[in-house]
Copies of this chain bind each other. A is one copy, B any other.
Amino acid sequence: MRPESVAVHSAAQSACVATVANRSTARHRSAVVIDLLERHVPCVRTTWHGGDLVHRSGMPFDTLHLVVSGLVKVLYATEDGRERIGGLRLRGDWLGFDGLADGRHARDAVVIDAGQTLAVRYEALIAAGLRVPDLLRALHAAMGREAESDQATALAVCTLPADARVADFLRRWSESLAERDLRADEITLHLTRAEIGNHLGLTLETVSRAMSRLARDRVIRFDRRHPRELSIPARAELDRYIEQRSACA
């Protein structure tokens, strides 16, 4: 947990520039929110390296982070030692909502891929929200999206057999990238098989076998030497594969 450097952007500073420069190219949700935040809220651009902890379970909560770049995984754990990877966060996603319930973080957020976040004190966000209701709406929409994404995973875990569960995971990861205009057909998994298994309620062996089978069936392709670099020749095939195995038929 060692954020690096720091530049304060007060409301006034980047306002005009941002309005002119970003509005036109702001096709994407993430850009709009980042822009909104930098213009209206005192926030701190923070740089993170792989392995850093953005927040840790048990820590008192007071600031939210909006991911600008990089990749962060969120871990959920209980006292009795069970734990699960809750999700992956990319540009435009927030970190720290887990602290809203009771003012104390309930999860760890671990940086996988170096990048930046905008750190915003929750109270500052509230204050800014009073002046800029759109900020509140954007915040709520982001919270809603996070919940929907969690629900989607839960549904997969509860209703799909192992193969389809892995396929569904890949589909949704690919989808996340596509939403951000990143390549969605050549993707790299930033999690080990064990981590994917943990996330999906499977063992690492089962995940490995599922991947092999997906590759055998030409739904995905990957090289033995780089098992985390996948290519998805046809998204539709993934969809078919999942649907076909869901009801069994």
Contact = CB atoms under 8 A, between A and B. Distances in A.
B158 A200 contact: yes
A137 interface: yes
Contacts of A86: 151, 154
B145 A82 contact: no
A101 interface: yes
A47 to B, nearest CB: 27
B126 A158 contact: no
Please classify how large the interface on chain A is, using the bins under 10, 10 to 19, 20 to 34, 35 or more.
Answer: 35 or more
- Number of copies of this chain that the complex holds: 2
A78 interface: yes
B136 A246 contact: no
B76 A151 contact: yes
Contacts of A145: 101-102
Interface string A192-224: 000000111100000000000000000000000
Q: Which of A97, A151, A199, A200 has the most CB of B within 10 A?
A: A151
A155 B84 contact: yes
A147 interface: yes
6 contacts: A80-B247, A81-B246, A84-B158, A97-B143, A99-B144, A100-B140
